[in-house]
Amino acid sequence: MSHASPADLAAAARAQLESLQGRGLKPKDRMAIPAQEMPQQDPDERSANFAEVALGYSPEQAQVEAMRCLQCRTAPCVEGCPVRIDIPGFVAAVAEGRFQDGIDIIKRNSLLPAICGRVCPQETQCQAPCTVGKALKDVDQAVSIGRLERFVADFERQQKPHAPAVAPATGKRVAVVGSGPASLVVAADVRREGHEVTILEAFHKPGGVMIYGIPEFRLPKAIVEEEIRTLIDMGVTIRCDYVVGRTRKLHDLIDQDGYDAVFVGTGAGLPVFMNIEGEHLVGVFSANEYLTRVNLMKAYDDRADTPIMRSRRVAVLGGGNVAMDAARTARRLGAESVRIIYRRTEQEMPARVEEVAHAKEEGIEFCLLQNASRVLGDEYGCVTGLECLRYQLGEPDDSGRRRPVEIPDSAFTIDLDTVIVAIGNNSNPLITQTTPGIDTNRWGNITIDDDGQTSIDGIYAGGDIVLGAATVILAMGQGRRAAAAINRRLAGG
Amino acid sequence: MHRIMRKQQLSAEVFRLEVAAPEIARERQPGQFVILQLHDYSERIPLTIADADAAAGTITLIFQTVGRTTHLLADLAEGEAIPHLVGPLGQPTHIEQVGTVVCVGGGIGVAPLHPIAQGFKQAGNRLVVIMGARSKDLLILEDEMRAMADELVICTDDGSYGRQDLVTAPLLEYCQAAEPPAAVVAIGPPVMMKFCAQTTRPFAIPTTVSLNTIMIDGTGMCGGCRVNVGGKTLFTCVDGPEFDGHAVDFDTLILRLGAYKAREAEDHHRCHLELGLEGAH
């Protein structure tokens, strides 16, 4: 992958824009416009810093990229969007340089575009069915809807921010448990109707996975903090250091504290381990722990008291976005060698294509069709290596992906000092254990009806506590739906 | 913000704080703990709730100065505040009337043991307390325990007070008695808990231990507090902090607790000098 400088990319786009403007563009002309490359930090430089990797389009790049959109009447992109943003509408506005109009259109459906523009898996959602990508037979050639979303969101952030209008006070009170993407959407949507909203967050800082999990280089914390400041400006109260299920039982919020409705958006938080020998050795971390130490507790900063192991040789087990985040974080903390160990092939990897590409550029090694079978340690209980087995792909399993099958007698060992386990999360038991009458499925996820309401009247839920491990945008979508139901409920009484 | 209402130094390295925390004081039960953070760049550390007064809205924390954060905490004066305090975390102790309960506390472990002993006493059990410390001046909560216990045995390593013995010696005697205890609770350094569990195992006396592991969030999210109990990976913060002492794999636990020892020793030394505490070494 070539890496032109941001200035060169902007200059090329400027020239392109001049040649296009004023011309009536036919679909054929639009398809001939080159896809705009995302300016990014040089891989060698960025593997030693925590600053954002993708730098964002210039205004000219955004306009040129938007002109690639055919404005097709079927708009398959909208079908691919979990919150059904009017994508052709906002892209047309960008093409004409009406950036504020563009963001206003997005905000009718999505509340956190600066975040979603960065972390949504667009290549499997809105961009997957894009007619341009289909015609060019390459999903990477689809219109970069996500980058355009990010561009207009960042454009708006640079203007004077204004908090959305709030209806007159209704006297109704809603508690929102957790402060990740689902919860932030509920807080905003419910507050707008004039209801009093209190967010109850377990950590000392709000933002959930966007603060403790997703690293700075992928989602700058300042963006999340701005979204939270907007909520505070709207009059939402945020209480940190408050664990519902412990500091207060869920029932008590309604029965004792007088909340009229509660939304539970506590996320997926109970890391799964491999259950292999040596997993308790010093130097084995869950990705959650590793990332939390770095992101939330700022362990990479010399001023921070929270320690982080200064690893030299690291293996990350798993092939999702969290695995990529952990590997790239270890790299930035100075590890000489970082490898991803995944038991299927790159095709089956759940991580976003872009994250995989970024990881490779930063020198992360991909060890595919392998899996850890034993962590090796020394007499001090510290990790010294990993025993792995080789795999081949067999018949498809329930998920439709080809099942990895162990190759007999294929064991081999590698020298390491750190193993990061990133194979997913089980549902957190805190709320379900302490809330009699709340129904869960067999994985312990809270079950909800079409309104997002749980088996307990007045208690709603959404996000990963319902979905298992999902994405920011799906969590937001569920939050939206629950907020609408809560607003209907409160308007009725 | 949680104001420090009262501060006492119990021994050279042990402090007692009464902290305003009405919501935690209202909900807390014996066996539970809090996590606190002192400033933006500070660690989050777990501390057991030694006592609470729901009416006054305060909880009592007793801690030993070990690493950087406990030293900073010891440096706070009455009237100053702890910015972040979250809890009560962990499962409460399962307390019921079983007969005679022997509560064994070692060093700072006597602090978390206190509310549990109190709970068993209030549930109508006959309470035996065995307390151990390196020497007399490191012994804490003796008066409080004496006021409550039907029998109290004190052991010191150097013989400066009570019996010169490890706590496992009197524990073994109670196990061998004509009427052995119905349950044992042991809280202290991991090595002490390991040997208490070994002592009671041949007698098949249910033995509960309370673990104080490395922890970040305290809600199950990070998994740093994981411990091998009966071959299963459990999390101290949501499954514990109390576990069946006969099932805990103490050897790996002890290794894990050593993960940041070098850094802790360095902080201990530097902080002691900075704070001008006694016993700098």
Domain boundaries, chain B: 2-89, 100-210
* Residues 68-107 (A) with a CB less than 8 A from some CB of B: none
Residues whose CB is less than 8 angstroms from the CB of residue B173 and which lie 6 or more positions away in sequence, other chains included? none
| Domain B2-89: CATH class, spelled out | mainly beta
Q: Examine residue B88 and say whether the peptide bond preceding it is cis (omega within 30 degrees of 0).
A: yes
Question: Which residues in chain A have Cβ-Cβ distances shorter than 8 Å to B24?
Answer: 247
* Among A158, A184, A200, residue at a domain's last position: A158
| Domain B2-89 identical in fold to domain B100-210 | no
Say if A491 is an interface residue toward chain B (CB within 8 Å).
Answer: no
Kindly state whether residue A393 falls inside one of the protein's structural domains.
yes
A429–B contact, CB cutoff 8 A: yes
Judgement on whether residues A108 and A178 belong to the same structural domain of the protein: no
**Domain CATH for A99:** 1.10.1060.10
Return d(Cα A216, Cα A207) in angstroms, integer.
Answer: 13
Task: Tokens for A394, please give them.
Answer: 């067999």
Going by DSSP bridges, is the β-strand pair A383-396/A402-406 parallel, antiparallel, or unpaired?
Answer: antiparallel
For residue A184, what is the enclosing H or E element?
helix A181-192
Same domain, residue pair A11 and A143: yes
Helical (H) or strand (E) element with A357: helix A353-361
Q: How far is B233 from chain A (nearest CA, A)?
A: 8
For the CA atoms of A346, A350, A353, A354, the dihedral, rounded to the nearest 10 degrees, stands at -130
Domain end: A107, A133, A158, which one?
A158
Residue of A nearest to B90 (CA): A246
CATH code, domain carrying A180: 3.50.50.60
Place of tokens 């430089």: A45
Is A431 in CB contact (< 8 Å) with chain B? no
A286 and B223: CB-CB below 8 Å? yes
Place of tokens 């030299």: A312
Contact A248/B23, CB-based, under 8 Å?
yes
User: Does residue A32 share a domain with residue A86?
Assistant: yes
Q: Which chain A residues are Cβ-neighbours of B37 within 8 angstroms? A: 204
8 Å CB contact between A149 and A54 = no
A305, B256: Cβ pair inside 8 Å? Answer: no
How many domains, chain A?
3
Chosen from B28, B222, B237, B266 to mutate, greatest number of chain A CBs within 10 A? B222
Would you call A297 an interface residue with chain B, using a CB distance cutoff of 8 Å?
yes
Query: What is A27-53 written as a DSSP string?
Result: HHHHHHSPPPPPPB--HHHHTT--S-S
Which residues of chain B have a CB within 8 Å of the CB of A238?
A: none
What is the predicted pLDDT for the residue at A159? 85
Record the tokens describing residue A475, joined without a space: 């969590």
Would you say A482 and A460 are in contact if contact means Cβ atoms under 8 Å apart? yes
Contacts of B49 in chain A (CB under 8 A): none
Across the interface, whether the CB atoms of A270 and B87 are under 8 A apart is answered no
d(CA A128, CA A471): 16
- Going from the C-alpha of B129 to that of each of A169, B101, B121, B154, the distances in angstroms are 57, 8, 11, 8
**Are B33 and B88 spatial neighbours (Cβ–Cβ below 8 Å)?**
yes
Look at A279 and B233 and tell me if their CB atoms are within 8 Å: yes
CA distance A63 to chain B (A): 41
The dihedral built from the CA positions of residue A312, A55, A163 and A264, taken in this order, carries a sign that is: negative
Window 137-196 of A: residues touching B by CB (8 A cutoff) are none
Per-residue tokens: A346:
């790159």
State residue B118's pLDDT score: 94
CB contact under 8 A, A380 and B226: no
Decide if A202 and B219 are in contact by the 8 Å CB cutoff: yes
Nearest alpha carbon to residue A339 among A350, A347, A331? A331
Q: How far apart are CA B220 and CA B41, in angstroms?
A: 22
Which of B220, B252, B260 has the CB atom closest to A269's CB atom? Answer: B220
| Class of the CATH-defined domain B100-210 | alpha beta
- A312 and A252 within one domain: no
DSSP B48-76: EEEEEETTTTEEEEEEE--SHHHHHHHTP
A248/B88 touch (CB, cutoff 8 Å), yes or no: no
Query: Left (φ > 0), alpha (ψ -120 to 50) or beta: where does A173 sit?
Result: beta
Using a CB-CB cut-off of 8 Å, the residues of chain B touching A429 are 220, 238
Residue A264 and residue A407 share a domain: no
Cβ of residue B33 closer than 8 Å to a chain A Cβ = no
Domain limits for position A225 = 173-269+426-492
Task: Please name the residue of chain B whose CA is at the shortest distance from the CA of residue A307.
Answer: B260
| Residues ≥6 apart with Cβ < 8 Å to A167 | A192, A193, A194
Mark whether A229 and A308 lie in a shared domain. Answer: no
A305 shares a domain with A198 = no
Nearest to B87 among A204, A246, A293 (CB): A246
**A378 in Cβ contact with A417 (< 8 Å):** no
Contact A280 B252 (CB under 8 A): yes
- In chain B, which residue's Cα lies nearest the Cα of A200? B86
pLDDT for B215:
87
Rounded Cα distance, A451 and A486, in Å: 9
User: CA-CA distance, A8 to A61, in Å (whole number)?
Assistant: 11
Greatest alpha-carbon span in chain A: 74
Surface of B (85-124) touching A: CB under 8 A = 85-89
The alpha-carbon gap from A298 to the nearest alpha carbon of chain B, in Å, equals 7
Nearest to A282 among B43, B68, B259 (CB): B259
The per-residue pLDDT for range A401-449, each reduced to its tens digit, is 888 999 999 999 999 999 999 999 888 889 998 999 999 998 889 999 9
Contacts with B259 from chain A: Cβ below 8 Å: 282
Helix or strand holding residue B171 (H, E) = helix B168-176
pLDDT for the residue numbered A83? 86
How many Cα atoms sit within 13 Å of A66 on the Cβ side?
Answer: 28
Q: What is the DSSP letter of B95?
A: -
- A328 and A466 housed in the same domain: no
Nearest to A288 among B23, B68, B222 (CB): B222
Domain annotation covers residue A278:
no
Rounded-to-integer distance, Cα A73 and Cα A405, Å: 45
For residue A322, being part of any structural domain is answered with yes
Domain assignment of residue A275, yes or no: no
Q: Does A450 touch chain B (CB under 8 A)?
A: no
Cβ of A297 and B43 within 8 Å?
A: yes
- End-to-end CA, chain A: 59
β B100-106/B44-53 pair status? unpaired
Strands B81-82, B2-11: pairing kind: antiparallel
Quote the strand ranges of A3-118, DSSP E. none
Residue A235 DSSP label: T
Mapping DSSP onto H, E and C, the string for A286-297 reads EHHHHHHHHHCC
Task: Enumerate the residues of chain A whose CB falls inside 8 A of the CB of residue B263.
Answer: 307
Q: Which residue of A has its CA nearest to B91?
A: A246
Of the candidates A243, A304, A381, which has its C-beta nearest B86's C-beta? A243
- pLDDT tens digit sequence for A54-110: 999 999 999 999 999 999 999 999 999 988 899 999 999 999 999 999 999 998 888
Task: Provide the residue-wise pLDDT of chain A in tens; the chain has 493 residues.
Answer: 457 899 999 999 999 999 988 778 899 999 999 999 999 999 999 999 999 999 999 999 999 999 999 999 999 999 999 888 999 999 999 999 999 999 999 988 888 899 999 998 899 899 999 999 999 999 999 999 999 999 999 999 888 767 788 999 999 999 999 999 999 999 999 999 999 999 999 999 999 989 999 999 999 999 999 989 989 999 999 999 999 999 999 999 999 999 999 999 998 778 999 989 999 999 999 999 999 999 888 887 878 888 888 899 999 999 999 999 999 999 999 999 999 999 999 998 999 988 999 999 999 999 999 999 999 998 888 999 999 999 999 988 887 888 899 999 999 999 999 999 999 988 888 999 899 999 999 888 999 999 999 999 999 999 999 998 778 888 988 999 999 999 999 997 5
Cβ–Cβ gap A240/B84 under 8 Å: yes
Q: Cα angle vertex A118, ends A114, A124, to 5°?
A: 125
In terms of CA atoms, which chain B residue is nearest residue A310?
B260
3-class state of residue A250 by DSSP:
helix
Minimal Cβ distance to A289: which of B85, B89, B224? B224
Residue type at B38?
L
- Whether B135 and chain A come into contact, CB under 8 Å, resolves to no
Same domain, A179 and A319: no
DSSP A394-452: EEE-TTSSEEEEEPTT--EEEE-SEEEE-S-BPPP-HHHHH-TT--B-TTSPBP--TTS
Q: Is A225 on the interface with B (CB under 8 A)?
A: no
Per-position pLDDT tens, chain B of length 281: 899 999 999 888 899 999 999 999 999 999 999 999 998 888 999 999 999 999 999 999 999 998 889 999 999 999 999 999 999 999 999 999 999 999 999 999 999 999 999 999 999 999 999 999 999 988 999 999 999 999 999 999 999 999 999 999 999 999 999 999 999 999 999 999 999 999 999 999 999 999 988 888 888 888 889 999 998 999 999 999 999 999 999 988 888 887 666 656 666 666 555 555 443 33
What contacts 24+ positions apart, CB below 8 Å, involve B191-194?
B191/B250, B191/B254, B192/B104, B192/B106, B192/B107, B192/B109, B192/B132, B192/B166, B192/B167, B192/B168, B193/B106, B193/B245, B193/B248, B193/B250, B194/B248, B194/B250, B194/B251, B194/B254
| A143 in the same domain as A10 | yes
Residues A352 and A401 in one domain: yes
Chain B positions in Cβ-Cβ contact with residue A430 (cut-off 8 Å) = 219-220, 238
Looking at residue A435, its pLDDT comes to: 94
- Work out the widest C-alpha separation in chain B, in whole angstroms: 56
| Domain's final residue, options A110, A134, A158 | A158
- Does the CB of B260 have a partner CB in chain A at under 8 Å? yes
pLDDT value at residue B200: 97
CA-to-CA distance for B253 and B211, rounded, in angstroms? 9
Distance CA A464, CA A204 (A): 20
Written as one letter, the residue type at B19 is V
C-alpha span between A47 and A43 (Å, rounded)? 6
What are the E-state strand segments in A123-195?
173-177
Asked if B129 and B147 touch (Cβ cutoff 8 Å), the reply is: no
pLDDT confidence of residue B211: 93
Rounded-to-integer distance, Cα A55 and Cα A42, Å: 11
Distance separating alpha carbons of residues B261 and A117, to the nearest angstrom: 43
Establish if A1 belongs to a structural domain: no
> Cβ contact (<8 Å) for A289 and B223?
yes
Cβ <8 Å between B89 and A246: yes
The strand pair at B126-133 and B100-106 is best described as parallel
In 3D space, the residue among A455, A452, A380, A465 whose CA is nearest the CA of residue A189 turns out to be: A452
**Among A142, A139, A149, which Cα is nearest to A116's?**
A149
The ipTM (two decimal places) reads 0.87
Give all strands of the β-sheet with B126-133 in edge-to-edge order. B163-164, B151-156, B126-133, B100-106, B183-187, B207-210, B242-244
B228 touches chain A (CB under 8 A): yes
Residue A41 inside a domain? The answer is yes
